[in-house]
A and B are shown apart, each in its own frame.
Chain A
Amino acid sequence: DAGVIQSPRHEVTEMGQEVTLRCKPISGHNSLFWYRQTMMRGLELLIYFNNNVPIDDSGMPEDRFSAKMPNASFSTLKIQPSEPRDSAVYFCASSLGYGGGSYNEQFFGPGTRLTVL
């Protein structure tokens, strides 16, 4: 398996532009997580899905952020409009999820480094 795939790996955009980050989880995994990593705040969970349904989006910073999972093999995290303070590394992770066993190891993608100028 190729692991969790994220695209793009790097994104540079200007303030006010729309940004879309993409994630393909490991086949057969039922849970998908979006994280944001910054020096100031560390690793923050933004939202997670189980069986394509958003379960907890309490970590989404504000209405400018939205996430979708239209099917089991694809998810997007959109920022509209983007601001310089959104600059961070965004990780997607997947796990077997509910019913997956005694624990649920999360497998992380390589991350997308977002820079908003």
Chain B
Amino acid sequence: AQTVTQSQPEMSVQEAETVTLSCTYDTSESNYYLFWYKQPPSRQMILVIRQEAYKQQNATENRFSVNFQKAAKSFSLKISDSQLGDTAMYFCAFEDSGTYKYIFGTGTRLKVLA
């Protein structure tokens, strides 16, 4: 069975600094998809960035980028120029390409400090 592990329950970063959130996963599949979702205090789940496992190039969305290491089964999220609005819970998710189910990690609570 696939598993997703986020080993950092909480993190904090100064405004304008860079922070990296870790995520590792375990699967025997070769084709799958990975996602980072953000959940601010409003509790709405918002997609931040996605990565397709067959693509070697790391995904980037504005200030958000990933470091995808397929062999190591690692999928970290880097937030550059952190803003107060980035304060939220961040969830890493693995999509089973056969069933389209997501397996979520336990989340990392990120606090951006002014």
Q: Which of B42, B43, B44, B101 touches A45 (beta carbons < 8 Å)?
A: B101
What mask results when residues 91 to 104 of chain A are scored 1 for a CB within 8 Å of chain B, else 0?
Answer: 10101011000111
In angstroms, Cα B33 to Cα A96, docked, is 15
Of the 9-residue stretches A15-23, A62-70, A71-79, A105-113, which lies at the interface with chain B? A105-113
Q: Smallest CB–CB gap between B113 and chain A, Å?
A: 23
Number of interface residues of B (CB under 8 A): 20
Q: Give the contact-size bracket for chain A.
A: 20 to 34
What is the number of contacts between chain A and chain B, taking CB atoms within 8 Å? 46
Once A42-B106, A43-B104, A103-B52 are accepted as A-B contacts, the answer to whether A55 and B99 lie under 8 Å apart by CB is yes
Residues of the A chain whose Cβ atoms lie less than 8 Å from the Cβ of B105 = 42
Residues of the A chain whose Cβ atoms lie less than 8 Å from the Cβ of B50 = 103, 105
- In chain A between 30 and 54, which residues have their CB closer than 8 angstroms to a CB of chain B? 31, 33, 42-43, 45, 48, 50
Once A102-B52, A103-B95 are accepted as A-B contacts, the answer to whether A108 and B101 lie under 8 Å apart by CB is no
What mask results when residues 4 to 36 of chain B are scored 1 for a CB within 8 Å of chain A, else 0?
Answer: 000000000000000000000000000001010
A98 near B52: Cβ-Cβ < 8 Å: no
A45 near B99: Cβ-Cβ < 8 Å: no
List the 9 closest pairs (A to B, CB-CB), nearest first. Answer: A108-B45, A43-B104, A103-B33, A104-B100, A42-B106, A111-B43, A110-B44, A105-B47, A31-B100
What is B's interface to A at a CB cutoff of 8 Å?
33, 35, 37, 42-45, 47, 50, 52, 91, 95, 99-102, 104-107
A to B CB contacts below 8 Å, 19 in the list: A33-B101, A42-B106, A42-B107, A43-B91, A48-B100, A48-B101, A55-B99, A95-B100, A97-B100, A102-B33, A102-B52, A103-B50, A105-B35, A105-B47, A107-B47, A108-B37, A108-B45, A110-B42, A111-B44
Contacts A56-B99, A108-B44 aside, 9 further interface pairs with beta carbons under 8 A come to A42-B104, A43-B107, A48-B101, A55-B99, A98-B100, A103-B33, A104-B95, A105-B50, A110-B42
